[in-house]
Each structure stands twice: as C-alpha cells, then as structure tokens.
Structure 1
Amino acid sequence: MDRRSFLATGSLAALAVIDPADVTPRHIDPQIVPYFYQQLNGHYAADMMLGPRDLIGTVTEQYRLIGGLARAAGGPVREELIRVAATYAELAGWLHQDAGQWDTSAYWHGIAQTDAQMIGDVDLVAYTLSNAAHLRSDLGDGRAAVELCQLGLSHPGLSDRIRVNLMQQQAHGHSLLGPESRAEVDSLLDAASRVVEGVDPEIPWGTAARRNAYFFEVQRATCYGRMGLHREAQDIWSVINTGMPPAARRDTGVYLTRQATACAALGEPERAVDLARTSAQVAAETRSARHRKELDVLRKGMRRWTKDTVGHRFEEALRPITV
C-alpha cells in the first residue's frame, strides 16, 4: 500500500513510540489553538459536502501534528492543545464510522476519551461518551447506547450543550429497543430541544444541535422510522427534505433514503423511487458507507415490488451505486 492510500484509511497509528527530541519543551504560541479550531469548523463543513473518505487522511495527520505540539508545550497551552486534539480524534472516529470502518472508529473514539481524561475535562469526557453511544447505535446496540449516555449524564457540572448531545443519543438508543420506547424517545428529545436554547453556537465543538435548523426533527424522524412509526416519520421527512441547505449534501442524501423507506412501508413505491434516485447519486459521490447501509434498508422495503415495473425502476435508480 502506498503512503497516500495508507493515510486515507487512517491506518497509520496515532500512538507510537516517541523520540525524546519530540518532547523537548519549547515555546508554542497560544494563537495556534484558535487556528486549529478554525480548521476543525472547515472540516465539519467539508464532511457534509464530501463525505468521509476525502478527509480521513487530513484529519488524522492533523491530530498527530497537534499531539506533537502538545508534547512540546507546557502549562495552559498544553492543556488547550490536548483538548483540541481530542476533538480532532472524535472527528476521525466519526469519519471512519461514516466510512463503515467500525474497528478504526472505535480506536479513534478511545483516543479521544483518553485525551479528555488526561486533562480532566468533564464536558469533553461526557462528549466522548455521547459519540461512543452514537457508534453503538449505528451498530444496533441500543442498550449500550442508553447506558453510555446514562454514564455521561451522571457527571456533575455538565454544560447544556453536552447534555443535549447525551439526551439525543440516548433517545436513539431507546428507539432501537422497540416501539414501546416511544415515550422515552419523545421525552428525551423534547427535553433536549428545550435545553439547547441556552447553548452558544460559537463554541467550536459539541454544538451540532445549534448548527442544523432541523436537528431535532431529524433525530425524531430517524427514531420513529426505527420504531416502525412510518407515517409520523414520513410527515417529518417531507418537511426536512424541502428545506435542507445545498451544502449539507451528504446528510440530505441520507435523509432522502430514510424518507423513501417510510414511503415504501406506507405502500408508496413510486414516491420511494423518485427519492431513491436522488439519494443514490449523492451516495455514489460521497462514498458514505452509512448512507449505503440506509439504501440497503430501503432495498429490503422495496422487495415486494421486485417483479413489477416500479421494482425495475427502483433498481435503475440505484444504478449509481451498483455500477
């Protein structure tokens, strides 16, 4: 494997034996910290447009750069660099998760949690737990997601933004436990949507709920779809997918697939095909494994029309990801 391919998979270990010269104390200008946060915001935006694979190498390399600076720095600058490094490790975990590289995703989430524990940042530790819960939900382990969020919420002194992250991820965990969990899902999302009003959207990490105007509608519709509440999910998706900004291309593609799945379950295959056509094109461009997994769920929902004309049209709609 050449170096570029090696870096693109994120396989180059983040932790390695350190050369003594790399830990020699030196002055690190504190202004480097806001620079890396600015870069982080750019990565968040690029992820929504491009998907994970074009960013993995860049983000993991920047984590190593930040980690090296932290080893050389001292005092408050060192602590701030470790904090920003943890947020990069979390993003690396998410990118691998979206790419379907589950083991590597768990590895990066673990690195982020270790960094957070090193500096004793309660919010950051709890944030890593919410992201670990997200991974468990994507793997179908709702009970683990609920328990990880309960652990995070047990930490005293959490900020509102971290409570929001934990509560909405806990709602996803409950949604995997069956439709009888609807009351818990609604209660958690309602509470989180009230708490989010006190969150400053300018904080550079943990504020996704303030950056997407449809954030809680997305969480609710996703949970409803998992629980088989397809009419309720479809009603919400129809609003979301007419108002998503063009820059959120990857996310919009995923949401279109979820809406199509609800349409198929409600006996509306023609509408499902129209939505799938646009969604499949986005999936081919962003190369998100998570998106393709959603399309696999849709394919199962469309099986009853396999031999009909609409079934053939559906397979043609998925051609961008099958060629």
Structure 2
Amino acid sequence: MRRPGLLADGSVASLGVVNPVDLRPREIDPALVGYFHQQLGGHYSADMMLGPLDLIGTVTEQYRLISDLTHAADGSVRRDLFQAGAAYAALAGWLHQDAGLWDSTAYWYGIAQTDAQMSGNTDLTAYALSTMARLRSDLGDGRAAVDLCRRGLSERHRLSPRIRVTLLHQRAHGHSLLGERAAVDRLLDEAAAVTDAADPSVPWGAVHHNAYFFEVQRATCYGRMGLYAEARRIWDRINSGMPSTARRDTGVYLARQAIAHAATGEPEHAVALASESARIAAQTHSARHHAELEVLRRGMVRWQHDPLGAQLDRALAPLSPDNR
C-alpha cells in the first residue's frame, strides 16, 4: 500500500491509506536510480538558496514516486531504489526540521531509517541515525544525540570516511549541549582528519557542504557552550567568505555571529548583522533561522530601552507577521 498521504506542502496528512499501489512486479529501468540521485544533488543546492517551504512538496512527491517504483522493482534495482528512497526521506526530514515541523520531521527520519535498513547499506543506515541525532540536538537533547551517534559509530570499521565524519560532528553537537568542550574539540579534530578521505560522490552526508564546514561546526558548538569570544572570531572569518550560493546558511551564520558580538559587548555590530540576517530569514522561511534571531533578541534585552533596542526592532521588522 502507498505510504501515508501527504498534504500539498508535503506534511503528513494522516496515517490512513490514500490510494492502493499496483504491487505487480514490472521491469524498472536501472537508469532511473541515477536520475534520482542526480536530482537529489540539485535539491541540496536549491535548499541552500531557497529554504524549506519551496522544496518540501517537490521532494516528498519524488519520494512517493521512488516508493511506488520500489514496490514494483526486484533484485538490485529494488535495493538501489531503497537507497535512493532513504536519501530522499532524510532530505524531506531535514526540510521539515528546518521549517520547525517537528512531528513530520520525526516521521520522515523514521521512513529514512526503514528504507536504509531495507537497502542493506551499512553507510546509509548509520547516516539515518545521524539525522535522528541532528533532530535530538535541535530539541536540546544532547545525551540522546551522543547515544545515537555512538550507536552509528559502533561499527566504524565498516563505515566510509564520509559517514564517519557525519557521525563524529553530530556527536560533537550532542556533547556541546552537555557543556563538554574537550569532547567537542576531540571529535571535531578527529572528523577533520578523516574528511580528506571522504568520497564527494556519495549522495548523502554533508561533509563538503562548504569550505568552512568544520569551522561552522566548531563555532556553533562554542556559541552553544557560551564561549562567545572564540565563537565570534570564527564567525567573523566564516562570514567574510561565504559564497552567494549558500544564502540560506549565510543568514543563519550571520545570526549566530550577531549573538556572539552582542554577548561580547559589541551590540552595534550585532544589530548590523541582524539586519542582513533578518532580510534573508524573511525570504527563506527557515524556522531554525528565526529561532537564532529570537535568541539574539533575548540576548539584547538589556538594550531594549536604549536607541539600540529600537534599531534592533527595525532590523528584525522583516520577521513580523505583518511583513510575511
């Protein structure tokens, strides 16, 4: 039977059956697998520029097609389609997570884990665990994130360098929530040492997401642990060289940079960064991005009755409901 129904925006509508799928086996051209992986790369790139809401419907509908083809396929094509399905479900989960749709996020990550298990691919199964760890980190559950990544790394000798890197840096985020800097530094250093061996052609895992990948992870972890002076120096370096094609992520990084500047006594600079960040957030509709700017707003509450408070309000005006 077909997977649970989807609303127009891709979120879960119900757990009931929508339409029965033709389960009769038929020949599926293996070239379709390559097509789906090629499309996946395009979706990753589009996400960097658009944000989640413009892509959720497209990605979830493509997953639905892959799922239907998987039911009809056999042999190695069926296995390869399960791999493609797991990768698409993981991306759908991320898009819902970025949009702040937590229940739908958990649903899609569960689908990714199931399809990864069906594919028999050890790397992909471990990658699916890393996506669940990313969700737990966003929910503030560092211990669960650490445990999930530890489970994924339990057979590290069987994992590709790319997936080891993914699990190591996600585990570092879990430790940052627990305030364990030594573990954060150790894991990020270990991940950075492995990354040169990672195969960039593998269509899952984000090791080569951008040239500042590990600096972003370290600055994010440091900011989360309250190490704002160190985080600020890293963010200043990162945001001076981010490419225009990473617009969505640049907006998030600017918000984190602003938080660090406000926390280290540079509120004027924080407001200037917030203004640029908010313009991007208003266009990409990333709930994760909005949350970072709300952290900044709370961090600058001491200036709310000063002229800086009014300047911050103007900077964040694009996020008000009236301007959406």
Tell me if TM exceeds 0.5. Answer: yes
- The percentage of counterpart residues that share the same residue type is 63
1:15 positional shift: 8.0
Q: CA deviation at 1:11?
A: 2.2
Residue 87 of structure 2 is matched in structure 1 by 87
Task: Give the match's secondary structure for 1:254.
Answer: helix
- RMSD, matched Cα: 1.4
- 1:169 aligns with 170
SS in 2 for 1:80: helix
- Given the alignment, which residue of 253, 261, 275 partners 1:263? 261
Contact 1:63 1:88 in 2 (8 A): yes
Distance 1:189 1:13 in 2: 40
- 1:137-157 Cα deviation digits (max 9, x unpaired): 000000000000000000251
Distance in 2 between the 1:172 and 1:70 partners? Answer: 35
Pick from 296, 300, 305 the counterpart of residue 302 of structure 1: 300
2: CA distance between counterparts of 1:203 and 1:88? Answer: 14
Aligned to 1:201: 200
* Structure 1 match to 2:228: 230
Deviation at 1:209, TM superposition (A): 1.3
- Which amino acid is the alignment partner of residue 265 of structure 1? A
Query: What is the CA distance between 1:204 and its match in structure 2?
Result: 1.6
Give the C-alpha shift of residue 34 in structure 1.
0.7
Is this contact kept in 1: 2:10–2:61, CA < 8 A? Answer: no
Cα offsets for 1:55-80 (capped at 9, x unmatched): 10111111010010111111100100
8 Å CA contact 1:160–1:195 kept in 2: the answer is yes
Please name the residue that 1:8 is paired with.
Answer: 9
Q: Give the corresponding residue for 1:280.
A: 278
> CA offsets per residue over residues 191-216 of structure 1, 9 Å max, x none?
0001011011122222x112310000
**8 A Cα contact 1:14 1:60, kept in partner:** no
TM-score, length-scaled by structure 1: 0.95
Q: TM-score, normalised by structure 2?
A: 0.95
Letter in 1 for 2:125: V
Cα drift, residue 105 of structure 1: 0.1
The 3-state SS of whatever aligns with 1:154 is: helix
| Cα distance, 1:15–1:194 mapped onto 2, change above 3 Å | farther
Unaligned runs of 5+ in 2: 1-5
The residue number in structure 2 matching 1:140 is 140
Give the conservation status (yes or no) of the 8 Å contact 1:201–1:211: no
Instruction: Tell me the SS of whatever aligns to 2:244.
Output: coil
Matched, 1:157 2:158: yes
Q: Kindly state the Cα deviation for residue 52 of structure 1 after the two structures are TM-superposed.
A: 0.2
How many residues are aligned here?
A: 315
1 CA distance for matches of 2:274 and 2:158? 44
Match of 2:237 in 1: 239
Structure 1: gaps of 5 or more residues = none
Q: Does residue 249 of structure 1 match 2:247? A: yes
Is this contact kept in 1: 2:53–2:99, CA < 8 A?
Answer: yes
